[in-house]
């Protein structure tokens, strides 16, 4: 199946710093990518939809100025957690449906574990 990668897989940072997470579709193009957040022992919650060539759309309650999303190309979306705080510590996962593919066919990245000290 198609592969989605994330980098880094794990990051530890100090409070107040910014962290960038990359999501890449390795063997297909994706005009849309999704970013999820998962707190320990909880489900995945959709944060935002990343759209190539246009602004991201954020779910209710997600601060767009704090979670900056840039869909730089058809194979890359980045999520930047700005001025990170300990409460931002979480597991961040991206997913991507291949462009032109079935809407129910999505491929998930392996996730990035963010720890903010």
Binding site for other proteins (CB under 8 A): 1, 32, 34, 36, 41-46, 49, 91, 93, 95, 97, 102-104, 106, 108-111, 113
Which of 90, 57, 88 has its CA nearest to residue 71?
A: 57
Strands (E), the chain: 4-7, 10-13, 19-25, 32-38, 44-51, 57-58, 67-73, 76-81, 90-96, 107-108, 112-116
Burial class (CB in 10 A: 0-12, 13-18, 19+), 23: buried
Task: Please say which residue, 62 or 108, places its beta carbon nearer to other proteins.
Answer: 108
CB of 49 to other proteins, least distance (A): 7
Task: Please say which residue, 6 or 78, places its beta carbon nearer to other proteins.
Answer: 6
CB of 30 to other proteins, least distance (A): 10
Task: Please say which residue, 54 or 103, places its beta carbon nearer to other proteins.
Answer: 103
CB of 72 to other proteins, least distance (A): 19
């Amino acid at each position: 199946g198609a592969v989605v990668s994330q980098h880094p897989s794990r990051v530890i940072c100090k409070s107040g710093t910014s962290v960038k997470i990359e999501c890449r579709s390795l063997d297909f193009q994706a005009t849309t990518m999704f970013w999820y957040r998962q707190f320990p022992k909880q489900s995945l919650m959709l944060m935002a939809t990343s759209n190539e060539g246009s602004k991201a759309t954020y779910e209710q309650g997600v601060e767009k100025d704090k979670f900056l999303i840039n869909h730089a190309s058809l194979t890359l979306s980045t999520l930047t957690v700005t001025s990170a705080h300990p409460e931002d510590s979480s597991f961040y996962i991206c997913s991507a449906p291949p462009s032109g593919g079935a809407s129910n066919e999505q491929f998930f990245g392996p996730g990035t574990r963010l720890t903010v000290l």
